[in-house]
Amino acid sequence: MTHFPLVVFDLDGTLVDTAPDLISALNWVLDREGLAPVPLESARKMIGQGARRLIERGLELEGREMGMADVTRLTTDFIDYYAAHIADASRPFDGLTEALDELESAGYRFAVCTNKLEWLSKLLLGQLGLTSRFRAICGADTFGISKPDPVILQQTVAQAGGVMSAVVMVGDAGPDIGVARRAGIPVIGVEFGYTDVPIADLKPDRLIAHFRELLPAVEHLLAKKAR
């Protein structure tokens, strides 16, 4: 049986620039608590570890300590507000559609492996008209596991019908590099995403600054792995 090569993408900061809507929702929650808004540019680095962690980091930035129950309440309110505004300003990064078309023509298939909740991921991609591009869309709640635990990536690949020997991960931050390393697959880092540690310092196998560079990067890594 011949298996297709699979490219697995992170979502926030990799496929889609979701920061405007995420930070808008965060600031809505903070405002209700009488706290100052977080500036978009500094908050971009806080994204990528799920809604609860974003709330916790927002509170830390404001010097406010809250108990677990209050953080849970704020997280629930955040998710409700965010879901209602999930694609107000979020858009795919430049060149994504063309890159997917190129890769698909070359025989590649796609999946999403994110620490975002699965239903929010599907809601966002649906509103952006991207759902049909992916054979699997898996979030932190899909298997009850978050990146960088390799099981979430392994299960995503299985759900997409791929095999680990023909997979490349694409992401923008530590959890993406970590999950790929632990799963033993090559990883491409994007320079336009959200990370508090420069992506180059995390030493992905390849770095790209624009999606036009994706196809040659994927082909290089899979050819190198095959040798």
Return the active site residues. Answer: 10
Structural tokens at position 8: 């697995």
Q: What gap in Å lies between CA 34 and CA 40, rounded to an integer?
A: 18
Residue pointed to by tokens 């994204």? 47
Helix (H) or strand (E) holding 36: none
Judge if the upstream peptide bond of residue 148 is cis by omega within 30 degrees of 0: yes
Structural tokens at position 201: 């310092």
Would the CA dihedral through 186, 192, 197, 198 be positive or negative?
positive
What would the DSSP string read from start to end of 67-113?
-HHHHHHHHHHHHHHHHHTTTSS-EEPTTHHHHHHHHHHTT-EEEEE
| CA 203 to each of CA 54, 82, 119: distance values in angstroms, whole numbers, following the listed order | 24, 32, 31
Beta strands 109-113 and 136-138 are: parallel
Residue pointed to by tokens 């632990």? 182
| Phi, psi at 215, each rounded to 5° | -55, -55
SS3 9: strand
